[in-house]
Amino acid sequence: MKDKLVTYLRESFFQPITFVMFILFIKITAFQVVIFDNKSIVHNLLVEFPMWALLLMILMMVFKKRTWLAIWIYSLILSTLFVVVMYYTRYFSTVPSYYDVKQIYQSNSVGGTVALLGTPYDYLFFLDVVLILPMVWYFSRFSKPITRSGAKSWAITFSCVGLIMTIIAFRYPLIDVSYFAKKHGYIQSQIVQVFERSIGKAFATNDNLTDKELAKLKGNDFVPFTEHDTFGLAKDRHVFTIQVESLQEFVINQKVNGQEVTPNLNALLKESAYFDNVYQQIGAGNTSDAEWLMHTSLYPEGMDPTVNLIDDSEVPSLLRTLSKNGYGTATYHADDITYWSRDKLYPALGFDYVFTSDEIPDEEEIGFGPPDEVLFSFVESQLPSQLSNHEKMYSNIITLTSHTPFEMPDEFEFLDLPEKYEGTYVGNYLQSIRYTDEQIGLFIEQLKDLGIYEDSVVLIYGDHSGLHGAPVTEHDQVLLKELLGHEYNLQDRFLVPVLFTVPGIFNGESSSHLGGQIDLMPTLLNLLGIEHDAQMIGHNLFQYKQNLLGMRYYLPGGSFISDKMLYTAPSAKLPASLYDQKTMKKTKNTNRMQEKIDNTLLIMKHSDFIRTEQTKE
Ligand code: GP9
Ligand code: MN
């Protein structure tokens, strides 16, 4: 009897395949704990593990003669994948998806920052590859082939459980990829996305929101665009939009060691209308998504850079509307045109002149491009000929120097910072912003020298935060707390400054109307007194007091910002949180919260539908 039991156990369990599966299970569990803080063994066993195990079984069946090699390579790929996902999540606070593979060539977007994201423990994910699997192979090399040691029954079990779990996953809405992946499995989250981005998209429906309905969903009474008080205030002026890399709101009027961080922008405020409560709304396309928001007033796709979804279409953009109204349009960015697929984005938006690293001199470089002073001098050099060809010019200038990791050569460090800032992420950030601020100041002087400043609108705003994710150390947090007088919070992170400098018209007005980057285009067009011929999702910030904003990728899907609340939907690691939008203190006042969530999702879905229609070939 005892012998029979031992034989039975040996034949059923003490097989190499059991060890391989056990090692895989431990690895998947470690992945779940690190990425999703998910410690439930049952959940891992039923939801996450079967699909990964099934993939391995399939590989083993395909490579029948080289089974152990297949197991080893699969483990190596998995270890690499998990470490990449870990790094990605640490920086972007969301898990990557299959289509992010296309962005690998753009990994210098976080460039020198990658080194700041890892710890030596991360490499424990390779322990099975270098040690455990070779050992299991060594001790079992004389037993019968692994594929004939109960592998079939494992394969059948995993197929059944995996299939059931995938069917269950399809029954839930995918609002946030990370949250979905935690609840329904990482592989399942990818399968559902493949489906939604292909077949699902084709059947997308629209609720056809009118401008009036949009205004109502945001809590406003609709007023026709031409009847706003600001309509045409800056009619026929040249326009310079300066999209500043990583510029956050908290640096404006901020002093460090007795020095202003942005003396030039602060001085400019005197001839500007300043909005200090505007949120970034970019998705995975970072800088390029900010360009998209500025020129379409539509939401970015979110999980995928919007540039990846525009194909060869011609979008009814700000540029096309300005062209119809007598403007020449130019864009300047000192990076390679293929970065963020701007070779597709710019024709889709319809600029007359495009200047990138092919035209802008790059003898000198900081980070991944020439310093901003070279960019601004180049703009200045182009203006005279453009102004002789066009009565009015729209110039879109995208700075680059203040990009993570913000390391500046000594001669470009204009701030005298105390010792404790030395070599810190925050210290470097402030130095790089101070540098770009100086270049903006000089550029304004150049506009004055050219005699066009008084006839211009200069719109300055930040593209997205610079200080976020793992590179911000505890010491950086202490420095920020000292600087801001409170813990660095989500609002500090997400607010971008917005200055509409209109000399002779504005004299230092400031407004705390809630806004998003989606509102920049309608606000600008209203000042210029020009109507757009497609629907804009944003609105004129001068006109409307209430707002309702969505943000994808950097906040979990289903999050929203309203005048009173900032709601972060549950994510893979954190539960839902609700803050008072004015004080950023946590609040329990959930009054009309669900309605706001629903309205935000409705507005974003409507925006996506417009984008999909406009970008259909
Ligand atoms: C790339 C530059 C920086 O061309 O605009 O992009 P980011 O990494 O900020 O998205
Ligand atoms: Mn950027």
Per-residue pLDDT tens for 378-394? 999 999 999 999 999 99
pLDDT, residue 149, reads 60
User: Ligand 2 centroid to 403 CA: how many Å?
Assistant: 7
pLDDT category, 107, cuts 50, 70, 90?
low
User: What is the share, in percent, of the chain residues with pLDDT greater than 90?
Assistant: 75
User: Ligand 1 centroid to 400 CA: how many Å?
Assistant: 7
Number of the ligand 1 atom closest to the C-alpha atom of 285: 10
User: Ligand 1 centroid to 109 CA: how many Å?
Assistant: 6
Instruction: List ligand 1's pocket residues with C-beta within 6 A.
Output: 109, 245, 286-287, 335, 339-340, 400, 403
Q: What is the mean pLDDT of residues 39-50?
A: 93
**Considering the chain, what is the average pLDDT of its residues?**
92
pLDDT, residue 548, reads 98
Best of 114, 368, 403 to mutate for ligand 1, by most ligand atoms within 8 A of CB? 403
Judge whether residue 20 has pLDDT over 90.
no
Cβ neighbors of 38 (< 8 A, separation 6 or more) are 32, 44, 182
Q: How buried is residue 547: exposed, middle or buried, by Cβ count under 10 Å (0-12/13-18/19+)? A: buried
User: Ligand 2 centroid to 95 CA: how many Å?
Assistant: 20
Number of the ligand 1 atom closest to the C-alpha atom of 339: 4
CA quadruple 514, 496, 342, 354: dihedral, nearest 10: 100
pLDDT, residue 16, reads 78
> Cα–Cα–Cα angle for 15, 20, 23, nearest 5°?
130
Residue nearest atom 7 of ligand 1, based on CA coordinates: 287
Best of 104, 105, 243, 245 to mutate for ligand 1, by most ligand atoms within 8 A of CB? 245
Sign of CA dihedral 224, 229, 230, 235: positive
Residue nearest atom 5 of ligand 1, based on CA coordinates: 287
pLDDT in tens, 549-593: 999 999 999 999 999 999 999 988 889 999 999 999 999 988 899
Give me the domains of the chain, ranges plus CATH numbers. 2-202 (no CATH), 211-614 (3.40.720.10)
Residue 179: both structure tokens together:
């949250």
Q: In angstroms, rounded to a whole number, what is the distance separating the alpha carbons of residues 142 and 167?
A: 41
User: Ligand 1 centroid to 375 CA: how many Å?
Assistant: 15
Between residues 371 and 154, the one the model is more confident about: 371
pLDDT, residue 531, reads 98
Count of residues in the chain: 617
User: Ligand 2 centroid to 594 CA: how many Å?
Assistant: 32
CA quadruple 513, 518, 520, 524: dihedral, nearest 10: -110
Whether the CB-CB separation of 83 and 75 falls below 8 Å is answered with no
Between residues 57 and 273, the one the model is more confident about: 273
Residue 501: both structure tokens together:
């400098």
User: Ligand 2 centroid to 558 CA: how many Å?
Assistant: 24
Number of the ligand 1 atom closest to the C-alpha atom of 287: 10
Q: How buried is residue 39: exposed, middle or buried, by Cβ count under 10 Å (0-12/13-18/19+)? A: exposed
pLDDT, residue 1, reads 63
pLDDT, residue 141, reads 72
Phi, psi of 511 (to 5 degrees): -140, 140
Best of 246, 248, 335 to mutate for ligand 1, by most ligand atoms within 8 A of CB? 335
User: What is the share, in percent, of the chain residues with pLDDT greater than 70?
Assistant: 94
pLDDT in tens, 503-536: 999 999 999 999 999 999 999 999 999 999 999 9
pLDDT category, 100, cuts 50, 70, 90?
confident
Q: Please, what is the end-to-end C-alpha distance for the chain in angstroms?
A: 73
Q: Kindly provide the b/e burial profile for residues 579-604, where b requires at least 16 CB atoms within 10 angstroms of the residue's own CB.
A: bebeeeeebeeeeebeebbebbbbbb
User: Ligand 2 centroid to 17 CA: how many Å?
Assistant: 48
User: Ligand 2 centroid to 245 CA: how many Å?
Assistant: 5
User: Ligand 2 centroid to 286 CA: how many Å?
Assistant: 6
Number of the ligand 1 atom closest to the C-alpha atom of 109: 8
Helices within 63-185 (DSSP H only): 67-92, 127, 133-139, 151-170, 177-184
pLDDT, residue 603, reads 97
Number of the ligand 1 atom closest to the C-alpha atom of 245: 9
pLDDT in tens, 402-426: 999 999 999 999 999 999 999 999 9
pLDDT, residue 420, reads 97
Best of 88, 109, 331, 336 to mutate for ligand 1, by most ligand atoms within 8 A of CB? 109
Residue nearest atom 8 of ligand 1, based on CA coordinates: 109
Residue 101: both structure tokens together:
């593979």
Residue nearest atom 9 of ligand 1, based on CA coordinates: 287
Whether the CB-CB separation of 332 and 338 falls below 8 Å is answered with no
pLDDT category, 12, cuts 50, 70, 90?
low
pLDDT, residue 169, reads 94
Residue nearest atom 6 of ligand 1, based on CA coordinates: 287
Q: What is the mean pLDDT of residues 132-138?
A: 79
Amino acid (one-letter) located at 262: T
Among 121-135, 357-371, 460-474, 533-547, the range scoring the smallest mean pLDDT is 121-135
Q: What is the DSSP string of 454-476?
A: GGEEEEEEE-S-SS-STTS-HHH
Q: In angstroms, rounded to a whole number, what is the distance separating the alpha carbons of residues 512 and 546?
A: 11
Q: How buried is residue 411: exposed, middle or buried, by Cβ count under 10 Å (0-12/13-18/19+)? A: exposed
